[in-house]
Amino acid sequence: MAIESYEQLALDRSQTALEQGALHPLKTTVSYLPSVGTEPFELRELNSELPRHLRKQGPKPNPFLPWDPRLEVCPIGQSHALILNKYPVQLGHMLLISKGWAAQSDWLGINDWNAVGLVDDLTTGLWFFNSGPNAGASQPHRHIQLLPRSDKESRCPREGWFVNLINQNTTDSTERSPVKLATAVRRRDPSRSNQGEHITTLYLDMANELSLGTPASRQIPAAPYNILLTRHWMAMVRRHCDVSHGFSINALGFAGYLLATSEAERSWLEEHGPEQLLAEVVDHSVVSRLPRQSNL
């Protein structure tokens, strides 16, 4: 049977997984934080106990080798599978995982981006990737995450920030904020026939701009990083650390989504704002870069 929508497939599987006790949605309280030049950040305060995979202490078993079949949405080609996030904030949150072992901190390859392209052809969601612990990754087994979005809603609160960055022809020194210095962004062409190759080209180009190296020159990237990907743009952020003032920040933080646990310093965030929080965790040591190429 042909798949018409991975989002609907994931939601259907979510209902079954809930009935089977395999899915454990996180309970959160939502509030909004104003930010300059973007929609308000969405702050979710965790009301339940922090899941084991998000805790820093102790050994962690690999939940993807093997993965729980009750969470499987469907296989994607020969090398990947699409499964549900066991602890979602939003139902339908999916993980594209490698079937065999592949390290989260290694370079993403054409097989990964081909799998993303196959799923993305039938979705309208927000993809994100955390390259390792200092970029907010909770598991070392390769996984790229997908949040469903409808055609009528923006992909994330900071989408306008990335679009504006694409449209800038130069990195004006008066606008060199720490987050901008650590960010590369490219326009994506959804009409390209081979999306895997197209996304790979964008990925490697941004890695070069952020001085992360290339697969030919380095076994692993020179620094941790995050990726955000939509139908129309792709962004990469070079990271320094994953935690600041009690907030653990992954790629979704740069999309405009923050999660507060009991360790989070809410008073600091309210005083300094979410953009300053992001500036605390990026690596902006690469201060001399070529003007952005916004037409890729």
Q: Tell me the percentage of the chain whose pLDDT exceeds 90.
A: 80
Has residue 158 been placed in a domain?
Answer: yes
Has residue 292 been placed in a domain?
Answer: no
pTM higher than 0.85, yes or no? yes
pLDDT for residue 284? 76
**C-beta atoms surrounding 264 within 10 Å:** 21
Structure-token match 């995979």, residue found: 53
pLDDT for residue 157? 95
pLDDT for residue 255? 98
Question: Alpha carbon of 11 to those of 1, 64, 294: distances in Å?
Answer: 17, 20, 36
CATH code for the domain in which residue 256 is found = 3.30.428.70
Structure-token match 């949150």, residue found: 93
Has residue 294 been placed in a domain?
Answer: no
What is the identity of the amino acid at 158? R
- What's the domain range around 225? 6-48+68-281
Give yes or no for a contact between 262 and 230, defined as CB atoms under 8 angstroms apart. Answer: no
Has residue 156 been placed in a domain?
Answer: yes
Q: Which portions of the chain are predicted below pLDDT 70? A: 1-2, 50-59, 169-175, 286-296
pLDDT for residue 130? 98
Question: Alpha carbon of 47 to those of 28, 127, 196, 249, 278: distances in Å?
Answer: 5, 25, 39, 18, 23
Question: Alpha carbon of 245 to those of 2, 13, 272, 273: distances in Å?
Answer: 47, 37, 11, 12
Domain count, the chain: 1
Has residue 213 been placed in a domain?
Answer: yes
CA-based nearest residue to 249, from 218, 219, 228, 222: 228
Has residue 57 been placed in a domain?
Answer: no
